[in-house]
Structures are given as structure tokens and as C-alpha cells.
């Protein structure tokens, strides 16, 4: 399944939920300049109304509440891990790492003691928006569905 199809499935479901509940802003491929030497560009992200107001800034200088990375085959484990650590160190509450080839989503969060927690979700599991997107659920099967691909 292609990156674009997976991206559109995730975008559609989260964007619709955010709009219906007026929770904030959903972005695809937006630059987050978190320091002079750190710019992160998640494949998709959510920023709550409590973090941003209109007019939106030209540059995002704070991390998103939720960052989503869809992993390409050429991505290295070191690069993925460094992005996860950077997001969480700068205040992102949830990081979803989507592995199209394995049809798995890893959910990462920082724990109160500073450690990182990862939980893997497979095809029979359902993601939760937790306290970032309250009451949002997304079956993993829906992310990787090719029902609309043809």
C-alpha cells in the first residue's frame, strides 16, 4: 500500500474528527522550528486550540500535540528514534509511527519520570486519541485498508 493512500486515510479520519469537535488544527507536512538547530517536519500533526490561535504564525515555534510519521523503507532506525525523542523532549504528547510494510503503528509518549513508553498496535487493535484527541478512535485496519485504493 502506498504512502499517499495511508496518509490520506489518516488525514481524512483525524481532520474530520478535529473539525467536528473544534479541537484545533490538523496539518500535513508542516515545519516546526523548535530551536535554531532543530526543525521537524512530521507527515501529519495536530495542534490544539490551547496552543495556537488565529492568525496562525508564519513559523511554528512549538511542538504539535500529536505528530505522525509514516515510515518509508529507506528510513533508518536511528533517524526514527531521534525524531521520536526530539518530539517528546519538546512537548509533543503523542507520536504515532506508522509502518506500512508491517501494518503496525507504534505509539510513543514521554512518562512523568522522563522515560519513553512505546506500545505497538497491530491490525486487530484500535488507536485512541487519549487526552490529546479525547474520544477519538481509529482502527488500525482502517489505516491500511485498500478498499478505496482502486
The grid coordinates listed for 17 are: 474528527
Domain 3-143 matching CATH 3.40.50.800: the answer reads: no
Is residue 110 within 8 Å of 88, Cβ to Cβ? Answer: yes
Average pLDDT, 10 consecutive residues per value, the chain (150 residues): 84 93 90 90 93 77 94 89 95 96 96 94 96 96 71
Residue 61, C-beta contacts closer than 8 angstroms, at least 6 positions apart:
32, 33, 34
The grid coordinates listed for 143 are: 489505516
Distance (Å, whole) CA 140 – CA 36: 36
**Amino acid 1: pLDDT:** 61
pTM listed for this prediction: 0.92
Residues 98-109 have pLDDT tens digits of 999 999 999 999
**Amino acid 29: pLDDT:** 83
What are the distances in angstroms from CA 18 to CA 31, 126, 134, 145?
20, 18, 10, 21
Amino acid at each position: 500500500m502506498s504512502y499517499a493512500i495511508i496518509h490520506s486515510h489518516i488525514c481524512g479520519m483525524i481532520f474530520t474528527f478535529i473539525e467536528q469537535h473544534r479541537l484545533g488544527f490538523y496539518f500535513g507536512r508542516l515545519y516546526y522550528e523548535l530551536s535554531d538547530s532543530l526543525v521537524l517536519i512530521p507527515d501529519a500533526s495536530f495542534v490544539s486550540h490551547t496552543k495556537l490561535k488565529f492568525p496562525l504564525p508564519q513559523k511554528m515555534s512549538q511542538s504539535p500535540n500529536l505528530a505522525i510519521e509514516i515510515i518509508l523503507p529507506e528510513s533508518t532506525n536511528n533517524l526514527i528514534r531521534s525524531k521520536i525523542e526530539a518530539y517528546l523532549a519538546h512537548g509533543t504528547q503523542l507520536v504515532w509511527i506508522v509502518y506500512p510494510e508491517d501494518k503496525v503503528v507504534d505509539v510513543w509518549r514521554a512518562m512523568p519520570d522522563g522515560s519513553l513508553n512505546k506500545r505497538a498496535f497491530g491490525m486487530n487493535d484500535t488507536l485512541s486519541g487519549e487526552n490529546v484527541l479525547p474520544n477519538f478512535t481509529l482502527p488500525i485496519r482502517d489505516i491500511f485498508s485498500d478498499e478505496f485504493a482502486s
